[in-house]
Amino acid sequence: MKKQNNLMEWLNQMVGEPYYFFHFLAFFSYFIFRSSAGNVLSPQITQHLFHREIQAILAFFMLAAYKMAREETWEGFIADTLFFGKIFLIALTLIMDYHLTLWYIVVFSVMYVLAQQPPFEKLGSSSKLTPLQLEALLTEGNTSRFWLVEFRASFTSGCRRASRCFPELSITHSNKNLSFGIVDLGLFPNAAEKFGISPGEVSRFPEFNFEATPTPPITTRLLAHHFELDRLLLEYVNGK
């Protein structure tokens, strides 16, 4: 049921969001060029292109299945599959005509500049906070209620890919003792310096070695484990 809801959500976004709509038009245009090329290319090249298309489709679905198993967020899965699709499309156009390849490279470059992938917009049970509201919460001295706050920069790909994690965690773990808040660094860029957050940070966990590569992806499972949210929820349910 969750996968079906994600699929319907993505279909609605494909029509309403420029990022998804432009990608749909770009991939659909390949079929138009492909049908026209059949009348121009030699039978040998056409057969070679057909075999490469079969290989590309099989490789694409294998990679998509792998990423579906590995990715926890729908935004991350869509970003990766679109990236794989663009790589395979450009490789196939090289067989037809390098001018077409250059055209797609320009189109994808313009799309990257003009239309970024939208983040997950729902808040779940979390609250959007301004820097003043967060400062007031920190100074009110209420030790019976804790806040878990995410500083989000929606203009970065890492935050967009992980934008679903925090709202989903808030739905499960919010209670009268624990609240979730989000500070948008795109709206309040000075908040990063004020609260000691580096704009270049993807995540901030003491045990992570940020000099190592690759940086661990942010997932709901990782956040719940690090902040011991399951233990806190259990203690709340048991009335401790």
Residues 56-65 pLDDT 10s: 999 999 988 8
Q: Is 195 exposed, middle or buried (0-12, 13-18, 19+ CB in 10 A)?
A: middle
Q: How far is CA 144 from CA 59, 128, 136, 141, 180, in A?
A: 53, 21, 15, 9, 14
3-state SS, residue 180: strand
Question: Does the pLDDT at position 169 exceed 60?
Answer: yes
* CA nearest to 174, candidates 233, 231, 223: 233
Query: What sign has the CA pseudo-torsion 53, 57, 59, 64?
Result: positive
Give the separation between CA 22 and CA 134, rounded to whole angstroms: 38
Are 165 and 202 contacting, i.e. CB atoms less than 8 angstroms apart? no
Residue 5 has a pLDDT of: 59
Prediction pTM value: 0.71
Structure tokens at 128: 């959007």
| Order of strands, sheet of 178-184, starting from the edge strand that comes earlier in the sequence | 127-128, 178-184, 146-152
Bridge partners (DSSP) listed for residue 151: 183
Residue with tokens 């420029």: 18
Are 154 and 160 contacting, i.e. CB atoms less than 8 angstroms apart? yes
Query: What sign has the CA pseudo-torsion 164, 166, 169, 175?
Result: negative
Note the pLDDT tens digit of each residue in 27-61.
Answer: 999 999 988 887 888 888 889 999 999 999 999 99
Question: Does the pLDDT at position 68 exceed 90?
Answer: no
Residue 200 has a pLDDT of: 55
Note the pLDDT tens digit of each residue in 172-221.
Answer: 888 888 889 888 888 888 887 787 776 555 455 444 454 555 556 677 77
Q: 175: which DSSP letter?
A: B
